[in-house]
């Protein structure tokens, strides 16, 4: 299995190959479509996710010549494109959070965030969390959701948003503090350990 991982073609190699063979880019689509769809669907809802994800891949395809091939993993790049597209929908996103805050039950979306969402519903914290998210600035919300729900490292989030690492850390700290304050000093993004 370790040999397979060593022989695996990197995203950078796929992008480089697609410069001469555009169809090679389809491998990135196959690898990351589901992940991008979950992220965008959670942020904006499934009704716009497919279109936005397809637009993100179209932009990535058109910009593939400018991709920094020193980065083997294209996930931060693709999530950065998707996050910038999400920014266009900011008003709709905030409206959606506010509408979901008043609505029950949650329409489930498959993915890692499903477990978090399920726990929040069970704890009754969902409306408060959605309200807290709607009050965050776009930049703070983008960093928080990339790190918390897309499992990105701080460095990857900085690459995805094209901002300095220090900005990621300060935005994340501020967003977590505001969410905790809105939830009465409870951080729903971390599991409490008993004992």
Average confidence score pLDDT of the chain: 80
Would the pLDDT of 108 be above 60? no
Give domain status of residue 147, yes or no.
yes
Give domain status of residue 194, yes or no.
no
Would the pLDDT of 105 be above 60? no
Mean pLDDT, rounded, for 40-61: 91
In this prediction, residue 129 carries a pLDDT of 73
Which residue in 79, 61, 82, 56 sits closest to 17, CA to CA? 61
Kindly indicate the confidence band of residue 151, based on its pLDDT and cuts at 50, 70 and 90.
confident
The C-alpha atoms of residue 109 and residue 114 are separated, in whole angstroms, by: 6
Would the pLDDT of 24 be above 80? yes
Mean pLDDT, rounded, for 158-179: 91
Give domain status of residue 187, yes or no.
no
The share of the chain scoring above pLDDT 90, in percent, equals 45
Q: What is the CA radius of gyration of the chain?
A: 18
Give domain status of residue 109, yes or no.
yes
Give domain status of residue 4, yes or no.
no
* Domains in the chain, number: 1
Strand residue runs (E) in 25-120: none
In this prediction, residue 178 carries a pLDDT of 86
Q: What is the DSSP letter of 70?
A: T
Residues 172, 144: contact at Cβ < 8 Å? Answer: yes
The C-alpha atoms of residue 82 and residue 86 are separated, in whole angstroms, by: 6
Tell me the pTM: 0.62
Of the candidate ranges 69-73, 102-106, 142-146, 148-152, the one whose mean pLDDT is the lowest: 102-106
Give domain status of residue 132, yes or no.
yes
Domain that holds residue 96: 9-182
The C-alpha atoms of residue 84 and residue 138 are separated, in whole angstroms, by: 10
Give domain status of residue 28, yes or no.
yes
Give domain status of residue 193, yes or no.
no
The C-alpha atoms of residue 54 and residue 44 are separated, in whole angstroms, by: 14
Q: Which two tokens stand for residue 176?
A: 């977590």
């Amino acid at each position: 299995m370790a040999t397979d991982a060593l022989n695996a073609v990197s995203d950078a190699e796929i992008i480089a190959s697609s410069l001469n063979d555009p169809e090679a880019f389809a491998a990135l689509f196959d690898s990351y479509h589901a992940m991008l769809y979950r992220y965008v669907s959670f942020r904006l809802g499934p009704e716009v996710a497919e279109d936005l994800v397809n637009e993100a891949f179209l932009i990535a395809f058109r910009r593939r010549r400018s991709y920094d091939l020193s980065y083997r993993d294209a996930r931060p790049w693709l999530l950065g494109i998707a996050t910038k597209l999400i920014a266009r929908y900011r008003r709709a996103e905030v409206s959606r959070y506010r509408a979901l805050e008043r609505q029950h039950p949650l329409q489930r979306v498959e993915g890692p965030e499903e477990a978090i969402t399920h726990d929040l519903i069970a704890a009754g914290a969902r409306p408060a969390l959605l309200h807290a998210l709607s009050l965050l600035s776009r930049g703070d919300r983008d960093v928080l959701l990339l790190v918390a729900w897309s499992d990105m490292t701080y460095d990857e989030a900085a690459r995805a948003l094209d901002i300095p690492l220090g900005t990621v850390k300060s935005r994340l700290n501020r967003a977590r503090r505001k969410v905790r304050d809105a939830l009465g000093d409870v951080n729903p993004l971390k599991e409490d350990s008993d004992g």
